[in-house]
Structure 1
């Protein structure tokens, strides 16, 4: 495509422009318009701009409808999925009226990006959740198309949990990706990786599935679909590629992304996996893995700044402010629910610990405090994003050493409290309010109690 490369003949860098990506297809589509599927290679090279347009259509639908979430995975209910799909430029093949969100990879991708970027959040009662659009969505809409793209890329790269995107407990993508990119950037191979001939590489990315397409949707490479392999394995939600070919855009973007935005330093879930509670993307890694925040005072530059030389300042100048904070002072009110009819409101100061929160929950529901527990901050049982009991030897952040104000909580946030690793009592914890100017309570207390909690030790009659 013309005007797509950042390298000119005289060695200077030419600035990229999203408008140039549209070429002859410069037809802006209304968010309400149904669109045809993109199929040609030329159109697939324009994915950066189409990604932004499709995401806006996705968000527009969420804003206009009350989207109820499923009970099990808390995903978009299936009745909305066909209508959202019709708005997208990428259609899901073989989807039926019974297909769940996971069967719509493009929508599934946008759902996780919107949640991770805090453009939408879950609201409602216990198991009757629905999606609401946050104020950040209004701020997002004021960005340029280029800035919108980089916010989506930043959210995917720094905030999104790649294991959740793949619905896996473990993934080594972050370890393998640098080698894949290095092979792709080899000019001798014409920036193409023939996976059907590279058996070792193909085996390494065997379970990447639609993750291969995520990079295509960001406009970084193009996948050649391997239908024979897909038909052979017949795995649900599986995707295989014969080859990966870098776009001109990817040739310019990926070296910066891999070098200046190293995943191990910039991805929050990865840093949490190694023991940090509220890591700042791009900040210096802690010297010791003891669960405490030990980042430098100097904040890293904004994510998009590394790519500023590729674009004009009028196209790429800002992004949405990041959500993390070093420490949030004030009074924190939590709503802790066992179910719809049994919940407690609990009040603590920012300087109380997560272990203090545990103790008052146990007291509020009249449980004995004689078992291990964990707070799973992404709401997923046994995920790596957790703060654990002082007696838990897993190496995760210690609740007794983690102050509530250091966790980076925000109003409306939901997470899981699991007590007793054997019986697995589960409670949903919602950050109900944070008053930064209020006087701190010296002792945690129960502000409100509704309904009877469960019996920790119940007896079954022998008959």
Structure 2
């Protein structure tokens, strides 16, 4: 019998994401955050300052890095907006700036465990994964992340997995395409990752992240099976479903016939079985207010 480890959530466990996001949000509240005119991201100077406050930080020798160069801060930016904790407001000069909402005041009063799962739920349901992936596979929406979780669910916690040593070429390609997403999920404490520095010189983008090793945590292994099946991202992520033209999206509900992910999965099943796939519309559970 598999025993699911007890999840202890504080500002430091299972990762420092609650603490770091709190410091990020506090900095935004205490400083006027005028956004860049083109991308409407945070400017380089405040990014450099915020980065130095983080537990998980980027080693930056100068304040000339843009937002994409700070993976954690780029993720926080989208969590803040998608979670409706902050909003873009136009200033008198025509530039946009970030301002806290009333919803942020509610967030501040949550317990650490509630904050952790709010940040996870926001990522899973509300954030457009294309926006948090500035790497070479910019169009990669992470819809196949369930395959990574399925793989992790079969691994031993704290055992280092060397990606390039795998004989599974499909798995290595998956890790290459999903590298930035895998890095983002490490911030939640699902696993620890190291970057393949040897691949740096041949990357398509300086923002790319090629995974050299992945070490699943006990939490990651315990939750991986759930996130690969009952919480499979294509069913739950609202922006990806809207991108396929769906309206009135209910997270977790069956995918409509025109959904690209569903069509691809049907084609794969037909190729593998030689028969036209029959979709069980009850595979995914109905949406609940607390998906996690």
TM-score bin, normalised by smaller chain: 0.7 to 0.9
User: In proportion to residue count, which structure has more strand?
Assistant: 1
Is the Cα contact below 8 Å between 1:49 and 1:149 reproduced in 2? no
Question: Which has more radius of gyration?
Answer: 1
RMSD: 2.8
| Residue 11 (structure 2) pairs with residue 16 (structure 1) | no
List alignment gaps of at least 5 residues for structure 1: 1-5, 23-45, 290-297, 307-463
CA distance in 2, matches of 1:127, 1:202: 46
2:288 to 301, 304, 309: 301
Deviation at 1:238, TM superposition (A): 2.4
Deviation at 1:233, TM superposition (A): 3.8
User: In proportion to residue count, which structure has more helix?
Assistant: 2
Is the Cα contact below 8 Å between 2:190 and 2:217 reproduced in 1? yes
List alignment gaps of at least 5 residues for structure 2: 260-284
2:178 to 208, 211, 216: 208
Is the Cα contact below 8 Å between 2:158 and 2:217 reproduced in 1? no
Q: In the alignment, what sits opposite 1:382? A: none
SS in 2 for 1:236: coil
Q: In the alignment, what sits opposite 1:157? A: 124
Which digits, 9 at most, give the CA deviation of each residue in 1:202-224, with x for residues without a partner? 22332434322111111111113
TM-score by length of 2: 0.80
Q: In the alignment, what sits opposite 2:196? A: 226
SS in 1 for 2:99: strand
The 5 Å alignment of 1:29-428 reads 46=13, 48-94=14-60, 96-125=62-91, 127-167=94-134, 170-171=139-140, 173-175=142-144, 177-187=145-155, 193-198=161-166, 199-231=169-201, 233=203, 235-286=205-256, 300-304=287-291, 306=292
Distance 1:132 1:187, change over 3 A: closer
Is the Cα contact below 8 Å between 1:112 and 1:160 reproduced in 2? yes
CA distance in 2, matches of 1:49, 1:227: 24
CA distance in 1, matches of 2:155, 2:243: 36
CA distance in 2, matches of 1:122, 1:223: 33
CA distance in 1, matches of 2:15, 2:126: 21
CA distance in 2, matches of 1:87, 1:102: 18
Distance 1:229 1:18, change over 3 A: same
SS in 2 for 1:118: coil
Deviation at 1:185, TM superposition (A): 2.1
Deviates more, 1:219-228 or 1:181-190: 181-190
Which digits, 9 at most, give the CA deviation of each residue in 1:53-105, with x for residues without a partner? 00000000001111000111000112211111111112212453222111111
Deviation at 1:157, TM superposition (A): 0.7
Q: Flag the structure with more relative contact order, 1 or 2, with Cα contacts below 8 A and sequence separation at least 6.
A: 2
Deviation at 1:288, TM superposition (A): 6.6
CA distance in 1, matches of 2:158, 2:64: 43
SS in 2 for 1:130: strand
CA distance in 2, matches of 1:237, 1:87: 22
CA distance in 1, matches of 2:236, 2:154: 25
Which digits, 9 at most, give the CA deviation of each residue in 1:312-340, with x for residues without a partner? xxxxxxxxxxxxxxxxxxxxxxxxxxxxx
SS in 2 for 1:60: helix
Which digits, 9 at most, give the CA deviation of each residue in 1:118-172, with x for residues without a partner? 1011001585100000111111111111110000001111111111111365215
Q: In the alignment, what sits opposite 1:342? A: none
